[in-house]
Amino acid sequence: MAKFATLSFNDKSIELPLIEGSENELGVDIKSIRTETNLITLDPGFKNTGSCQSAITFLDGEKGVLRYRGYDIEDLATNADFLEVAFLLIFGELPNQEQLEKFLTDIKEESYIDEDLKKILESFPSAAHPMGVLSSLTSALTAFNPTSVNVEIEEDMYKAIVRIMGKLPVLVAWVFRKKAGLPLKYGDYSLGYVENIARMMFRKPNKEYVANPVVDAALNKLLILHADHEQNCSTSTVRIVGSSHAGLFASISAGISALWGPLHGGANQAVVEMLEAIRQDGGDTKKYMEKAKDKSDSFRLMGFGHRVYKNFDPRARIIKKAADEVLNDLGIVDPVLDIAKELEAEALRDPYFVERKLYPNVDFYSGIIYRAMGISTETFTVMFALGRLPGWIAQWREMRLNKEPIGRPRQIYIGENKRSFVPLNKR
């Protein structure tokens, strides 16, 4: 096989080296194009542009394959603990018992919040969206932990990592509890990472907390499924902010803001709101299918379609099954689950969706599970952020250890040519 691709321009031919990934994916290294030809490459939305070489997550969108560090997502979601997966993503290997215990102990050491940061949370209006609050508080962690900002060596990186792994669940639980009007309390650190998150979130002030293994297991699974997804919008944001050496907490805060959008992680909120609106409108799924296909209508079938998956999102398969199990186990009948299944069945046989390869994505069913657990719609994306945390950390760490250059795309300028300033009184 050729080791180069050839680009011809203005009677000049240049050879561009091919880069081969461990799953035989091929890329063209275009770094020399500008120096050799003065051309830049233009690819809005980075639809066909690789920003890095990464050893963390493998995704084959045509076949519907997703692996973290070589392990199938199905295998991890069925057998692993979220903290094991976090360790795997960040450090590259599944931990042994001793490594896992040390990781958990180090995280627990950091699982508290400065009381002044708590005051900031308390001063947000109760109508504030939890994602905006979480992003602000994560950014504020930078001010409260200055030694974790400009980290260069692995030891300092590790300290910053366990800090954010310890503090973000507390912030998530508190953001949720503030919205629900519940007191802001800490968890029980004798519990495991996920079990403690469930306790911090769901404990009521007027009764003894009793863990629900169904909820704990579902939460563990959802967090694993959300843990990484290679160079998506929020992860690319984390890497690009981190590339300026802005620090881990600022990078994660930017990632949370990127995740918030309804075209990305915010879709889980948008899906349940859409399903609820369809239910309240009489449950006519066909009417909404027609709206989704009508180009003059801005309505989209939320939770459908994906930039990379042109096949079933493997996470959606797992989550759909989990939604059935969790609702059954909790004895909840949620009519929006039936509406979701009806929409899915219709979309899978509709030529519009089939031709465009639009399948349910990770967000189509996840909100239904969160809702069954008692999590408010606006907090769904906060749960996604909590799950994505280890992925963002792993990608940030890889980028820093690889000493990647600052992210700085180019553009083709299409504005005015040079013109002279006209004073205000002459305009």
- Whichever of 279 and 291 has its CB closer to ligand ACO, that residue is 291
Nearer to ligand ACO (CB atom), residue 302 or residue 368: 302
Q: How far is the CB of 301 from ligand ACO (least distance, A)?
A: 4
| Least Å from the CB of residue 420 to ligand ACO | 41
Residue number, nearest CB to ligand ACO:
305
DSSP assignment of 145-196:
-GGGTS--SHHHHHHHHHHHHHHHHHHHHHHHHHHTT-------TTS-HHHH
Residue 112 has φ and ψ, to the nearest 5°, of -145, 165
List the catalytic residue out of 228, 313, 334, 363.
Answer: 363
Secondary structure class of 306 (helix, strand, coil): coil
- Which entry of 306, 313, 334, 350 is annotated as an active-site residue? 306
Q: Which two tokens stand for residue 213?
A: 């293994």
Q: How far is the CB of 383 from ligand ACO (least distance, A)?
A: 12
Contact 401, 58 (CB under 8 A): no
With beta carbons less than 8 A apart as the criterion, state whether 178 and 184 touch: yes
Nearer to ligand ACO, 265 or 391 (CB): 265
Q: Which is nearer to ligand ACO, 98 or 355 (CB)?
A: 355
Contact footprint for ligand ACO (CB under 6 A):
232, 263-265, 267, 292, 300-307, 356, 358, 361-363
Decide: residue 274, CB within 10 A, 0-12 exposed, 13-18 middle, 19+ buried.
buried
- Least CB distance to ligand ACO at residue 245 (A): 27
Q: By C-beta, is 45 or 423 nearer to ligand ACO?
A: 45
CA angle 22, 363, 373 (to 5 degrees): 120
Smallest separation, CB 47 to ligand ACO (Å): 7
CA distance 141 to 148: 9
Q: Which is nearer to ligand ACO, 117 or 368 (CB)?
A: 368
In angstroms, what is the minimal distance from the CB of 354 to ligand ACO?
11
156 is catalytic: no
Distance CA 162, CA 147 (A): 13
Cα–Cα distance list, 286 to 171, 264, 316, 351 (Å): 41, 25, 22, 14
Residue 42 to residue 169: CA distance in whole angstroms:
40
Known active-site residue 306 = yes
Cite the active site residues.
306, 363
